[in-house]
Amino acid sequence: MLADDDDARLLVAVGRGDKAAFSTLFDRHQAGVVRFCGRFVNNTARAEELAQDVFIKLYKSAGRYSPDAKFKTFLYRVATNHCLNELRRFDEKRQQEAKGMTGDEQDTALDVEVAPDSPELSLAGKELEAAVTAAMAQMSARERAAFTMCRFEGMAYRDIAQALESTESAVKSLIHRATVTVMKHVEAWQQGMGPARSLA
C-alpha cells in the first residue's frame, strides 16, 4: 500500500464496508470531481449529477481497488470513463436530433454549449474563462480529460497515463494539442474576435 496515501487506506476500508470512510472521501473529493465533470459538460447541474454517479461507481468498485495505485489516479479513471461514456451518449443523441434539423438549426444547437453569454460564463465574468471553455468544447474527449487532469487537478503525466490507461508519451501529445487549442482561442479573444471557430 502507498504509505503516504491516506485516501488509499480509506478506499480499502470502503471495500470492507466502512461507510464513514466513504463519507470522508466524498467530502474531500466531491468538489474536485464536480469541476472535472463540468469541464466535459459545461453545465453545473449536470456536472453534479455526473459526480454523484462517479462516487456511486467508486463505492461499488472499492472492493476491486488495488492499494498499490494512487487513490486520485483510480478516482479519475472512474470519472474519466464515466464522462467519456456520457459524451458518447450525448453525441449519439445530438446526431439523431440533427438529422431532422435544417442547417441553421444545427448551427444553433452546436453553439449552445459554448455561447459566450451563457449563464455559466456570465457568472465567471472573465473572457479567459470563456476562451478556455470554448477551446475545451473543440477538443477530443481524451484531450479534454488529459488537459483537465494536468492543468486543473495538477496530476503528473504518469498518473494521467494510468487514469487514461495510456502511455506518458501519448498523454504528453494529448496535452500539447489541447494547450495549442486553448492558446489559439485565448489569442482570438485578446484580438477581440471571440472564440475561434476554425483551428485549421
Residues 6 or more apart from 80 whose CB is under 8 A from it? 145, 149, 163, 164
Q: Is the pLDDT of residue 11 over 50?
A: yes
As a whole number of angstroms, the distance between CA 39 and CA 107 comes to: 21
Give, in order, the Cα–Cα distances in Å from 167 to each of 146, 152, 158, 178: 12, 20, 8, 17
Task: Name the pTM for this structure.
Answer: 0.72
C-alpha cell at 159: 498518473
Q: Is the pLDDT of residue 42 over 70?
A: yes
Give, in order, the Cα–Cα distances in Å from 199 to each of 69, 123, 152, 160: 37, 27, 23, 25
Cβ proximity of 75 and 33 under 8 Å: yes
Compute the average pLDDT of residues 187-192.
74
Cβ proximity of 107 and 169 under 8 Å: no
Cβ proximity of 188 and 196 under 8 Å: yes
**Residue 127: band (very low, low, confident or very high) from pLDDT cuts 50, 70, 90:** low
Between 183 and 129, name the one with better pLDDT: 183
Q: Is the pLDDT of residue 51 over 70?
A: yes
DSSP percent split of the chain into helix, strand, coil, nearest 5: 75, 0, 25
Domains, the chain, in order of start with CATH, read 1-100 (1.10.1740.10), 118-200 (1.10.10.10)
Cβ proximity of 41 and 47 under 8 Å: yes
Residues 6 or more apart from 21 whose CB is under 8 A from it? 10, 11, 13, 14
Supply the pLDDT for residue 198.
41
C-alpha cell at 27: 467530502
Ranges 19-23, 73-77, 119-123, 151-155: which has the least confidence: 119-123
Compute the average pLDDT of residues 136-153.
91
